[in-house]
Every structure is written in structure tokens, then in C-alpha cells.
Amino acid sequence: MIPVTKPYLPSREKLNRYLDGIYERQWLTNNGQLVQELTQRLEDYLGVENLLLVTNGTLALQIAYRALRVCGATPGVQAEAITTPFTFIATASFLKWDGVQPVFADIDPDTWCLNPANIEAVISPHTQAIVPVHVFGNACDVETISAIAEKHNLKVIYDASHAFGVKYKGESLLKHGDAATLSFHATKLFHTGEGGAIIFKRRDDLERAKKMINFGITGPEIIEELGINAKMNELQAAMGLCVLDEMEENHTARAAVWHRYEQALSQTLRLQAKPQALDYNYAYFPVVFESEEQAVRLAATLKENGVLARRYFYPSLESVECLGAEVDQPVSKEIASRILCLPIYSSLSLESIDKIAGIVTEAANG
């Protein structure tokens, strides 16, 4: 069976050397040597500052929200944050979990990112933040979103889970917003098994978040903040350092897979539109079909042929009852119903890509 994705596993010999160091130091967590090394190396690799490693990408969102004071802590007031319905559930669910009502604004029909033209209509006196998503690593309209946020005095927190290594106009896409969060889940382009990170615009927000990920503890007998346990451990950092060592090889191989798909399918199917100034990371290969029936039928046909594709992101989040949304988002709902992500990972063979592309093309033309 060809999976929709597969974790990149780096050199076992190199990983063993990192593990030997952990055993020698007997320091497993609480800002160990490897966490510090990975923090510095990621800042250098990504071209960013104020990076904080955490346990996973979901906690990265939670800590970012809290560090920037996006929370439902005022009695009798329903805090709100504007976000996209076309994203993974964690983007919105942790807002709701913390007492902030996610208010959805529809997406752009071509880029599939939050459409800035829809934001101002849903800003209310209770709006605290805008939470856009760089969907599949594609860049949001960061300039327009920044202008809207400045006009209305709102925080901007980007869910950049898919945007590792992406550059926009020659600089890291992660530099935009008051914060940007990353997921280092096993299936991501860069991973630590599980893990995540937050890149803050301001140093003081980073320092506050550092306290929050360790229960608010700043000394043996000092607690300064409400906090949670969101620290990355040394074993996660060891995996991350190994993966980072081989990032160029991994990225090049994924790019070859992506371009092979593009060559075979771009004339047949609708692909995600990206700005010319984007230096993409080839994290995903999503395609949109003419109808939901066609997408569902193709997913079944691929499975019958030993290939797993994913309806990602489905469903559109305004339809998830527990999030409490009240307004349909027609563009997101339409795209979510007709999209499939095709398998993409560095070790996917050209033979497998051509097999998948052939099945997809036949179904799209049938």
C-alpha cells in the first residue's frame, strides 16, 4: 500500500551518536543541550529570531494565543478570533477550548488561504486576533492582513504548520505576524517525531512564553505565570537535529516528486495558485476535482489500486457543530468537498508517481 505520506527517517548511525550523548549527560528534558542546539540551528536555517521549541504543533498554537493574550478570560465577554474554515481542526479548536469563539471568514477560491476581503465584515468589538493559515505551505496575503490588523489593533497569529522553510519575497514567511506556529509532527517535511515551534515577532512575547511552557516556573521556588507543560525533550531534539542535517536531500527528493505530479496533472486538474514571489517547500500535492462525487470515487479507486489519498481538509470547519459557527462559508465548503491530497514523500518512486497520476488522469477525464 502506498501511504499518503511517510515519515522521513534520517541516518540511524547519526541518531545513535546523539542518543549516546543523552545517555552520557543523563539530561532528558528542561531545556537540555540538544534543545538549545536545535533552537539555534533552526533560527539560522529558517532565517528567524525568537524561536521557541514545544511539545507539538497544537500546544504551539495554545501557547501563542496565551502569550499574546488572546483568551476568553474576561467574565461576561465572548472573546473572538477570526480564522479560516479550511484548515486542520486544531487551529480553531484550541481557540474554542480556551474560551475564544472562532469566527470564520471564507477563503480565496484560488489560493485556498483566508481571503482578506472577507475579514473586516466579521470584525466586532470582541475580536482579539486574526488567525490565518498558510494552507499547504502557500503564503497568505500577508501585506493586506497586516494592514487590516494594524487598522483595528488586532494580533495576527499565523498557523504556519505547513510552511517550514517557505520563503516569500526572499525572506522567511515565518517572519510575518505577531507569531507564527510550526508543527514538527512525524509526517511533516521537517519533524522531531512529535513537536512544534513558535516564532515570535517580539522578544518579550518569547520570554513570557518560555515561562508558560514550564508551568510558569522561573526558579526553584518562583512561579510567575499560569503555565502548562509544553517543553520539547532531548529525544525529540535529537531526531530533529538528524532530520535537519539531511534537510536538503529530503527537500530535493520531495521537489522531484511534486514536479513529476505537476507535469502529469497540471493540464487536467485544478492546482493551488501560488504567488510568483513564493519559494515553496513541496510539502503537499493537493488537487481539486469537478465534483465531490468524482473526488470520493477517485479516492476509492486509488485505494483499490493500493494507494491512499486524503480528503484534506474535510469537512469545512464551519460545519463542525462543537465549534459553534453560525454562517456557511461557501468557497471553503466547495473546495473541501472536492479536494484530495495525493501521496508525497521523499522515497516515493517515479513508477509509483506515474501510476497514481495515470489513475487520477483517467478518472478526471472519465
Q: Which of 155, 167, 188, 211 is catalytic?
A: 188
Q: Do domains 12-244 and 246-365 have the same CATH topology?
A: no
pLDDT tens digits, 293-323 = 999 999 999 999 999 999 999 999 999 999 9
Handedness of CA 184, 186, 191, 192 (dihedral sign): positive
Active site residue 96: no
Domain boundaries, the chain: 12-244, 246-365
Cα 32 to chain center, whole Å? Answer: 25
CATH for 12-244, among 3.40.640.10, 3.40.225.10, 1.10.10.10, 3.40.50.150? Answer: 3.40.640.10
pLDDT of residue 130: 98
C-alpha cell at 25: 549527560
CATH for 246-365, among 3.40.50.1220, 3.30.1330.90, 3.40.920.10, 3.90.1150.10? Answer: 3.90.1150.10
pLDDT of residue 116: 98
Return the closest-CA partner of residue 359 out of 279, 253, 238, 261.
261
Which segments in the chain show pLDDT lower than 50?
A: none
Cis peptide before 313 (omega within 30 of 0): yes
Q: ∠ CA(60), CA(66), CA(72), 5° rounding?
A: 130
**Model confidence, pTM:** 0.96
pLDDT tens digits, 261-284 = 999 999 989 999 999 999 999 999
